[in-house]
């Protein structure tokens, strides 16, 4: 009897190739498509994908069905719309109200893809659950995908360790180019489909227009942090993140400028001018909501403060309900609400969310 694998078939090339490779290896493969967002149910009006065209998620389902038919596998679908709203989207909105920069993809993996989805797959008799993530599991350790440009362990770092049991990552040892070539050779319908970008439930839509469905615009002053002078008007603090350089709202300003802080109580956005402002840099932060994937609790390791950032050597000081993360080399744009993901070389050992940011023992960002 073949072992059954339920694959999260999203309609993209990565999950399509994952399903193809598993079937090629001799598994009994079933595709399961997750529907996490409904624009009408979730009260979306402005910026909705339903405006004049088929919903992108329905397009993805149609693509997943084409892939399943091509591979000769069954495709089922499941709705997690309410659960996604409760556990992911509500968190996203609450963090924005606090002036922070949330990362909903981590919460989606934690609560939906590697919890509810896994339970649904088990109901289908799955021996294993597979996704198209660029990551690896070896000897119970979560390891980076071999393609440095596509490694997705950053987004998996809030998943509880036990939820990686029975998980397969069939493309974690491949590069994106190799995945594309496999898809073309196998004539998979999604072989040339463009990768999705941005926050999952926003996609290609205008970020600010989308947010206005749920958070009212709240304009306020933009202040030069060095001179304390008003230099412009922001459209709402939720529209900006620390380190942001584009679309800040200082029209006609030729000198480089960056978002360096927020004061939520006074509704102020702080900016700094210059090529490389010192106000962007910090040397320590605290993290909470810590999730350990490894049994180790190191004093020294490396950290990523954003998905595309480089690994930074850090020292960890363990407190009662948080960890103080110190980095000898100052880092730019370390932002409250973002994840700090910890690594021991290739192993992703855990993560927490950035709460407070410091430089020379002084708290920054004025949040």
**CA 270/CA 272 separation, integer angstroms:** 7
- Is 108 a known active-site residue? yes
Could you tell me the sign of the dihedral formed by the alpha carbons of 272, 277, 278, 282, in that order? Answer: positive
Q: What are phi and psi of 255, to 5 degrees?
A: -70, 140
Is the dihedral angle over the CA atoms 137, 143, 147, 149 positive or is it negative? Answer: positive
DSSP state of 310: P
Structure tokens belonging to residue 182 = 């496999």
Active-site choice (55, 200, 315, 340) = 200
| Residue 28 CB neighbours (<10 A) | 17
Residues 6+ apart with CB under 8 A from 170: 17, 18, 21, 22, 130, 132
Q: Any idea which residue has 């362990």 for tokens?
A: 153
Among 108, 285, 301, 331, the active-site one is 108
Task: Mark whether 340 is an active-site residue.
Answer: no
**What is the number of residues in the chain?**
367
Catalytic positions are 108, 200
């Amino acid at each position: 009897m073949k072992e059954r694998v339920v694959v999260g078939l999203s309609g993209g090339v990565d999950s399509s190739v994952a399903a193809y490779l598993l079937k090629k290896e001799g598994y009994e493969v079933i595709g399961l498509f997750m529907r996490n967002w409904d624009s009408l149910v979730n009260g979306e009006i402005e910026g909705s994908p339903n405006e004049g065209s088929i919903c992108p998620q329905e397009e993805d389902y149609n693509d997943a069905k084409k892939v399943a038919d091509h591979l000769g596998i069954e495709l089922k679908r499941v709705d997690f719309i309410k659960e996604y709203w409760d556990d992911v989207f509500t968190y996203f909105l609450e963090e924005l109200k606090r002036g922070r920069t949330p990362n909903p993809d981590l919460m989606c993996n934690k609560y939906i893809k590697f919890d509810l989805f896994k339970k649904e797959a088990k109901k289908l008799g799955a021996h294993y659950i597979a996704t198209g993530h660029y990551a690896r599991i070896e000897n119970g350790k979560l390891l980076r995908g071999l393609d440095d440009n596509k490694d997705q362990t950053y987004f998996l770092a809030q998943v509880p360790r036990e939820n990686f049991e029975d998980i397969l990552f069939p493309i974690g040892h491949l590069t994106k180019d190799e995945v594309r070539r496999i898809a073309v050779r196998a004539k998979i319908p999604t072989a040339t489909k463009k990768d999705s970008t941005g926050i999952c439930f926003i996609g290609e839509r205008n970020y600010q227009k989308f947010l206005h469905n749920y958070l009212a615009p709240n304009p306020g002053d933009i202040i030069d942090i060095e001179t304390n002078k008003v230099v412009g008007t922001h459209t709402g603090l939720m529209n900006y993140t620390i380190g942001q350089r584009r679309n800040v709202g200082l029209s006609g300003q030729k000198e480089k400028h960056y978002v360096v802080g927020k004061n939520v109580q006074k509704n102020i956005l702080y900016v700094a001018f210059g090529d490389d402002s010192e106000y962007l840099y910090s040397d320590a932060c605290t993290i909470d909501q810590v999730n350990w994937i490894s049994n180790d609790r190191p004093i020294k390791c490396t950290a990523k403060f954003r998905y595309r950032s480089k690994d930074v050597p850090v020292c960890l000081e363990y407190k009662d309900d948080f960890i103080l993360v110190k980095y000898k080399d100052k880092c730019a744009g370390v932002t409250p609400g973002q994840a700090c993901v910890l690594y021991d070389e290739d192993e992703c050992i855990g993560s927490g969310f950035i709460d407070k940011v410091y430089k020379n023992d002084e708290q920054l960002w004025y949040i």
